[in-house]
Structure 1
Amino acid sequence: MGSCLRTTSKSKIPVLPNHEGLDLSEAKAKLSRKIKQSMPDPRLSSDCKEPTDAKFAIVQDKSKSKADISFISAALTKHFIFNSLTEEQRESVINHMKYYILEPREVVFEQNSVGSTFFVIAHGKLEVIIDEKRVNVLRPQESFGELALLHDTPRSATVRTIENSSLWGVDRKTFRNTLEQINALNYAENRGLIESIPVFKILNNAQIESLIASIATNMYSPGQVIVNEGETGDLLYIIKQGSVICSQGEKDIKTMEKGDYFGEQALLYNSVRTATITAVENTKCLTIGRAELTKLFGTSLQLIVHKNSQRIAFDKNVYLKKLTKTQFEKLLNCSEIQELKEGEKAISEGIRKCDNIIVLIKGELQSEDGEIVYKVFDIIGLDEAIQAFDDIFQKDYYAKGDVHLAFIKNSAFFEAIGGDYHKVTTNNDAIKLLKKIPLFRYLSEEQFESLIQSLRTENFKNDAIIFAQNQPGESLFLIKSGRVEVIDKDTNRILRNITKDDYFGERSLLFDKFRSATVKAKGEVNCWVLYKSDFMRILDEKLKKLLMKRIELQDDNINIHDLYVVNQIGTGTFGNVFLVIHKQKKSLYALKAVNKKKVRAYEMEDNLLLERKILLQIDHMLISKLIKTFKDDKRVYFLLEYIRGMNLFDVLRKLDVLTVADAKFYTACIFLMLEHLHERDIIYRDLHPMNIMIDDEGYPKLIDFGAAKIIKGRTYTIVGIPPHYMAPEIITGHGYTLSADYWSAGIMLYEFLYAAVPFGEEENDPYVVYEMVQQGKFLFPPNADNKDKIKDLITQLLCKNPAARLGGTFDNLKSHPWFIGINWEKILRRELPTPYVPILPSILHDAEMALKNHKPLDEVITKAEKHDEIPKPRPVKEGFNVNWDEEFKG
């Protein structure tokens, strides 16, 4: 409802948790209710619901006079949703507003109904009724229903006309589409301008995205001086609209227009301005600051450009492309940059080529006679260093234009890569293959080293049987070269071919099983072989148990008819979740069943396909794992890892007070989850304590991917995250990226340490919370300290500039002083003590009863669905794929 219908109270400053002054259980119970009640299912679109606003009004697409536009604009300024819009965006929204004409005592909307329209009163009077009592009267230029522009929330009151009235209205879909179109065009234009500047061409996509998010826009009037000659500057300017004149002293040098830029040296060197720039007409400039970029990337732009240039050179080089990411980074960190001007000597005659590896990252080198010998991204001396040749340079070489060189000393090169190049890269090939195997993902560096030392090389001639079906399995094979056939001996059918850089036989390292097929060499085959006895020497008992559990989750040979329901463990808008047991293996799983009638009624086919696609990409110790999907005539099914435990929200209530060590552990786990997702371009969008389970060993697991999405660039959809955890850029509709998840993580970190959320702790009204989030102002408790720069970390994560939250990279984030002492690898191997291990009732009896007295799966699920409300299905649109569920086939 509009601000005139609401009383707003300021949130109190939270106090650090203590046993005397703060009732944590009451506070957390209140927050639990907020989270559960504040948002609908994130997958529900407003388009899935029938319109309920102003059903009997006459609606006109009326043209607006200047007076109308001014009138509406004045009403919009009362709401933060519109205050964050540019003038262009606000004008476009006003242009799309429709004119509603209503007679006396007509209902605009009813309390608890779900609507989608925001209204401004043009004429007349309306009454606001809550629980059948009039609480307010609204008059011209007042407005109401603004929360509907953000999401589906039940109306808090009934609004009814008192007399003949007219309203201006805009619905959520029109509002969001209008903003998306303008923002998408603006984003594309800004990106094009950024990418046209040479200094930025070397940046990767993530860095470009960060730049775009950090752009400021400034307007200059005719005759206004933008920069003065002789001043020290740290801003780059890009002309987006208008023109400027460039002058030195009293002399005009040139005119610059849209797409031109000036001040790029300021980003690299904080240099003195060499000219005065003055606006010729009304001019709009995009500006980027040196200090902002350093904060954004965690280092200077100059260093970013140098390192990116070296990476390009390394990627192009036949030798260096065989190095690992860690070896790459070590090489980058041991290089020294030298910058040369035109004609300066770069390399002297008589020096040994192998003494230094030289990477040409800018410009060209020429001999004394002017012949261009080395070009940008050439690497000089590498071949000689690797082959240990003693060749010397026969000539002097000089810079042609501005030249930047990266020098890596011979000794530093071999130290960075870890020893002899040929031995290191051979091991790298094996490691690359081993890391493709989920079984080895959680080994430590030391265990990997032992694994590599245990590999043996074996060669097989054409048609040689590598192993036969029904033989005991005792080894894993990694194919270095060649091809093998996997054959079913019983039918003599070729099941599949396996070639170079692939593997087979990994299950035999953990399980005493017979080979399920025969493997035969086709042509000469060269393999690395790892024997079970060698592998077992590397593992401790805890890691062995962990790996056995993970490899069991890779088993997709499960049939839905092999599953019996133990009990129901969850209910959602679309589906029900059941604990099921496999009748032979006795393994427990979670089975989510989604009714196809509901899917069709809410047009959720694409959402479910996306959820399946996302879950199939994820395999992480701290994230719920999808094992397989099924379908039948009535439903689609997700078979998931069963997480036996408690919700993190309930765990926080149990703990009452989190120690710093506990907060650090949970936060580190969250960042590892996000790192895994974001590396795959997956934004989670629903991060809060109720979507994290604490399992029976005390480790967190991220669940429920109904709001997740794969994005490259920006997305605009508002999803169902509770308002207290929602990033400001999601609320305003200007578009957001993966960094919206870091905001939610920052909210959770604050909550872990101070037992309160930083925005709207005492607010139940989502609109008020959104206003507070949008303002971005929060306070730390009076007795909070900044030990290990924890306040700085929280402030970084809750920065309104999304690009600044990560601090450049996940490695930068993980190396923040507050995380000193956290062993990230040990978290993944589940070797650290946990803050809380849930005490859980035994399910053994229920599981045994399910095996003895099982009922048909369909019968159990049908009973659970008995009271489900299923809306009338919408008409099928042209082009609808009736076989949309084909991918769910088990």
Structure 2
Amino acid sequence: MGSVCTSIKTPKEVKIESDRKNQHESGLTFKASSTNLSKPNSRQLKEEGKNQKKPRHKAAVDERLVEDNAMEASAAEIMDKPKTEEDVKMIMAALNNHFILRSLDEDSRNMIVEDMKFYIIGPKEIIFEQGQPGVCFFVVASGRLEVIVNGARKNLLGPGNGFGELALLDNRPRTATVKTYDKCTLWGVDRFAFKEAVKKVNVMNHEENKVFIDSVPLFQALTPQQKDSLLSVLTTQRWTSGQKIVKEGDVGNLFYIIKEGIVTCTQNDIEIRQMQKGDFFGEQALLYNTPRTATVTAIGDVKVVSISSDSLIDVLGNSLEQILYKNTQRIACEKSQNLKALSIDQREKVLEKVEVVKYQPGEVIVPRGGKIGEKIWIILKGRVRGPQGSIEVFSCIGDEGLDKSIPDEYLVDYIAELETDVSEITKEKLEECIGGNFLQVTIHNEALAVLKKVHLLRGLTQDKFVSLMRALKVVHFSDGDTIVLQSNPGDSFYIIKTGKVNVFKNDAKIRTITKHDYFGERSVLFNDFRTATVFADGPVSCWLLEKEDFLNIIDEEIRKQLVRRIDLQDDSIALKDLIPIKTIGKGMFGNVILVANKTNRNMYALKTVTREKIDVFGLYENLRLERTISLQLDHTMIAKLIKTYKDPKRVYFLMEYVMGNDLFDVLRDMQLVKDADAKYYAASIVVMLEHLHERDIIYRDLKPENIMIDEEGYPKLIDFGTAKIVHGRTYTTVGTPHYMAPEIILGSGYNFAADWWSLGIMIYEFLYGGVPFGEDEDDTQKVYQKILEHKITWQGQADPTSQAKPLIFQLLNKNPAARTGGSIENLKNHKWFANFNWDRLLSRQLKMPYLPKLKSLHDEIEAAFSNSNELELFLQIEEDQDVLPNIRLRERNQIQNWDEDF
């Protein structure tokens, strides 16, 4: 039996996985096969040796699904009461007793204390009940309270005790009842106020620090992503009046930005200036190990943020000077009309070979009489005087001659006006880097860029693209020429280089296509006749690829993949074309049905959500977001959304059907995973996440259950119910606790780095047979505590020589920005991935670690076609069995025309 490629879990849905002896009940990812899942192995046995399957880890309640009017201590009088110094001390002490709260920064805890309300409540009153969703955290100010579990008193709470802290993270059920023993007063804060307070502090700090970073000239050449990484390593420090922040003559590696207060700078005890908010000092410490040139002393209370050179290397992957110079060169290449015609890979190869040369003021950099284009200079620091005035940083000299066969000469010397650093490379060495004549390479680059836009070719490797590009021929047509003729055999396809063409079908014009559009692409894969006639509209030049050349380059396996991708691009399928086979998933808000196209019997997964549930649960924005995200994704390792439908009863998602088992079940059946197999699965996840993150999509629930291993053994990412488009940071608590990054737990704001943490958890799980934090814990609070304690224990039989352990340490870094080592490319170049063939991974040419054993669906398909099942009747029968969950959402405004794009 197969599996649907995605679950019905929308972004609003509670991910309930109640009984782990059954299959997924949280959504619609139904998994079953002929694999013997009852066989015990090292992944299925508890420490005490019982023959028992390893349970799936419980998923957290999605914070976006919250009950309306939830309230605790309902009998209390609640007021905003000013807090005395003693009140603040008592509350702070209670906060420090709880791992979640003491992990927050000081500003966040101060904000929480400020937001706490004062509760007055009489004796024998319920604060909250066991089994009910949690809402508030309380600190006892006076009186006593009973803690009751299953009807029996377990504890008494008195002044200074805090309780109920887990409710600040999510609304999972209370594990005990708490009621007053006598009259009590409490300080309390609910989850919504708590999260808003933490978010407010973190947003304020993040935005203020971002302004500071942007104002520092030293960081001008950093990319927005690199600047954001710097924000993650800023450390807040406080100094009192008279304290020396840095001392003249000391060697330091910290750079400081003043957030509050004033400092004085002195040399030999003589004040040279004062600095205040927004000013900075110590920038040379990030570049060189030079002694401090002045003493900086606090005048009154001072608050600063600092960055160390070591932390900077951790998050950016190299020294600041190297990064600044590399970024400066990249910016200069983008500004150069000729250099920007090189591909990014080609430019990077060139920049690896440049030589940085330092010039003193007055030195000649470019001599008069030299040939323009024989050598390239990029100004990294300082300034150069040329024939038309000063040439600044981020500028190139000599690049304008690269595309000329007969170069001009420089008529004057180019001279350094200041101390100037320049990167230099000869044209000869540059052409070695790019693999050929500059002009020819850039012409090929244009063709290659267009080839990569051809939908059916997107899954090809870089090597295959290059081979195809070299097989292209340029053909020319005059106005009115017939390029292809409808109903004639087709054995080539065309990409328009210049000009435009008109496309006619049955003598009717259907469209005009222009530069970089293409036509006839299916003829390289199929023996079909041409479906339209194409005429040149004016002079036209095309790149032509013959079918014979294509098939010589592309092997049979890749051709099959391309054919499958073409099938998934068929958005002409209508609902009336689908016949239901069976239900393959049921979730809280909808169903997923295995369906087949009546014409060709291709199978799909059809996800359905009724209008009733959409209205009751306010799913408008969530379904729209899911559609928006899924339509952006076109990757061989990500389940594809083909199209959506709507009618008066439902909305529908027609999805790729993935036949196979989820990775969780595969890991159980594989027992111990070899280092090479773990590397294959980890690399697959890296390219999945890379595809998502390039499109500003964060996944947020990465775990083995959400990766399918298809019938041929290839991984595929499914279920985008928790994914989100993020620009900057987000704050919602979403995910599965055992795989959740610390910054999600704390609510301090997170970005794509949270997905890399989850990958670190999974690599550990591949090699060591369990997760590193809270493997044997079902209590979410204990899991969170283990994660925040961050004590990794290494158990199991993993290869001791493997470089996986350093990579796991890197990915599980509590500093989010350090997880990729500076970039995804750095992550791919980690020692563990040494000699791994990323191109062969994408082209599905690597040996699969595991092949699922699956039952044939032939009998079920034949039965469905014999019975001629009607989709509407089938869906109605399924929906009649649905039970609406007893959950009340907070009220939201109904969105008009939310489904107009479905």
**What is the TM-score of this pair, normalised by structure 1?**
0.92
Match of 1:807 in 2: 821
Does 2:239 align with 1:225?
no
d(CA) in 2 for partners of 1:77 and 1:221? 24
Report SS of the residue matched to 1:609.
Answer: helix
Match of 1:241 in 2: 260
Does the Cα contact within 8 Å between 2:42 and 2:769 map onto a contact in 1? no
Match of 1:284 in 2: 303
Does 2:860 align with 1:839?
no
Does 2:98 align with 1:39?
no
Match of 2:747 in 1: 733
Cα deviation for residue 732 of structure 1 reads: 0.8
Match of 2:876 in 1: 862
Match of 1:159 in 2: 178
The structure 2 residue matched to 1:495, chosen from 510, 526, 530, is 510
What is the correspondence of 1:68-217 to structure 2 with a 5 Å cutoff? 68-217=87-236
Cα deviation for residue 146 of structure 1 reads: 1.4
What is the correspondence of 1:665-680 to structure 2 with a 5 Å cutoff? 665-680=680-695
Letter in 1 for 2:420: V
Larger CA deviation: 561-570 vs 452-461:
452-461
Report SS of the residue matched to 1:685.
Answer: coil
What is the correspondence of 1:504-653 to structure 2 with a 5 Å cutoff? 504-653=519-668
Distance 1:449 1:783, change over 3 A: closer
Larger CA deviation: 854-863 vs 868-877:
868-877
Cα deviation for residue 46 of structure 1 reads: 4.4
Report SS of the residue matched to 1:734.
Answer: coil
Deviations 1:680-735 (A, max 9, x none): 1111100011111111111111111111111121111111x221110001111111
Cα deviation for residue 782 of structure 1 reads: 8.5
Distance 1:852 1:173, change over 3 A: same
Larger CA deviation: 50-59 vs 433-442:
50-59
Cα deviation for residue 788 of structure 1 reads: 4.8
Cα deviation for residue 256 of structure 1 reads: 1.1
The structure 1 residue matched to 2:761, chosen from 725, 737, 747, is 747
Match of 2:45 in 1: 26
d(CA) in 1 for partners of 2:833 and 2:46? 28
Does the Cα contact within 8 Å between 1:562 and 1:582 map onto a contact in 2? yes
Count of equivalent residues: 859
Match of 2:355 in 1: 336
Cα deviation for residue 50 of structure 1 reads: 4.2
Does the Cα contact within 8 Å between 2:468 and 2:550 map onto a contact in 1? yes
d(CA) in 2 for partners of 1:497 and 1:27? 66
Distance 1:856 1:872, change over 3 A: farther
Report SS of the residue matched to 2:287.
Answer: helix
Larger CA deviation: 82-91 vs 835-844:
82-91
Distance 1:806 1:31, change over 3 A: farther
Match of 1:401 in 2: 418
Match of 2:448 in 1: 431
Does the Cα contact within 8 Å between 2:620 and 2:895 map onto a contact in 1? no
Larger CA deviation: 798-807 vs 93-102:
93-102
Does the Cα contact within 8 Å between 2:359 and 2:416 map onto a contact in 1? yes
The structure 2 residue matched to 1:262, chosen from 255, 261, 281, is 281
Distance 1:349 1:872, change over 3 A: closer
Does 2:780 align with 1:761?
no
Cα deviation for residue 871 of structure 1 reads: 5.3
Larger CA deviation: 350-359 vs 231-240:
350-359
d(CA) in 1 for partners of 2:209 and 2:515? 44
The answer for unaligned runs of 5 or more in structure 1 is 1-20
Report SS of the residue matched to 2:252.
Answer: coil
Letter in 2 for 1:807: G
The structure 1 residue matched to 2:392, chosen from 375, 379, 399, is 375
Match of 1:453 in 2: 470
Letter in 2 for 1:754: Y
d(CA) in 1 for partners of 2:797 and 2:850? 26
Cα deviation for residue 611 of structure 1 reads: 1.1
d(CA) in 2 for partners of 1:886 and 1:663? 44
Deviations 1:342-401 (A, max 9, x none): 33332334444444211123332126xx97353333322223343244544444332112
Does the Cα contact within 8 Å between 1:337 and 1:406 map onto a contact in 2? yes
Match of 2:898 in 1: 884
Does 2:807 align with 1:793?
yes
Match of 1:853 in 2: 867
Match of 2:16 in 1: none
Deviations 1:771-807 (A, max 9, x none): 1211222122397665353221111111111000000
Distance 1:48 1:592, change over 3 A: farther
d(CA) in 2 for partners of 1:518 and 1:132? 81
Report SS of the residue matched to 2:493.
Answer: strand
Deviations 1:70-92 (A, max 9, x none): 32222111112221223332222
Deviations 1:24-48 (A, max 9, x none): 2124998964523x423x3x62444
Does the Cα contact within 8 Å between 1:62 and 1:99 map onto a contact in 2? yes
- Structure with the bigger RCO (C-alpha within 8 Å, sep 6+) is 2
Letter in 2 for 1:847: I
d(CA) in 1 for partners of 2:812 and 2:673? 21
**What is the TM-score of this pair, normalised by structure 2?**
0.91
Match of 2:271 in 1: 252
Does 2:500 align with 1:486?
no
The answer for unaligned runs of 5 or more in structure 2 is 1-39
Does the Cα contact within 8 Å between 2:108 and 2:201 map onto a contact in 1? yes
Does the Cα contact within 8 Å between 1:32 and 1:649 map onto a contact in 2? no
Match of 2:21 in 1: none
Does 2:432 align with 1:415?
yes
Cα deviation for residue 304 of structure 1 reads: 0.9
Among all aligned residue pairs of Structure 1 and Structure 2, give the percentage whose two residues are the same amino acid: 45
Match of 2:35 in 1: none
d(CA) in 1 for partners of 2:883 and 2:733? 26
Cα deviation for residue 429 of structure 1 reads: 0.8
Does 2:491 align with 1:474?
yes
What is the correspondence of 1:303-382 to structure 2 with a 5 Å cutoff? 303-366=322-385, 372-382=389-399
d(CA) in 1 for partners of 2:544 and 2:884? 57
Distance 1:634 1:741, change over 3 A: same
d(CA) in 2 for partners of 1:109 and 1:429? 67
Letter in 2 for 1:212: L
Does the Cα contact within 8 Å between 1:245 and 1:277 map onto a contact in 2? yes
Deviations 1:574-596 (A, max 9, x none): 22111111110210111111222
Larger CA deviation: 268-277 vs 824-833:
268-277
Report SS of the residue matched to 1:884.
Answer: coil
Does the Cα contact within 8 Å between 2:43 and 2:54 map onto a contact in 1? no
Larger CA deviation: 819-828 vs 797-806:
819-828
Deviations 1:296-347 (A, max 9, x none): 2221111111111111111111111111111111111111112233333323
d(CA) in 2 for partners of 1:570 and 1:100? 46
Report SS of the residue matched to 2:82.
Answer: coil
Match of 1:702 in 2: 717
Letter in 2 for 1:697: E
d(CA) in 2 for partners of 1:825 and 1:70? 59
Does the Cα contact within 8 Å between 1:48 and 1:603 map onto a contact in 2? no
Let me know the Cα RMSD of the aligned residues. 2.3
Larger CA deviation: 332-341 vs 508-517:
508-517
Match of 2:791 in 1: 777
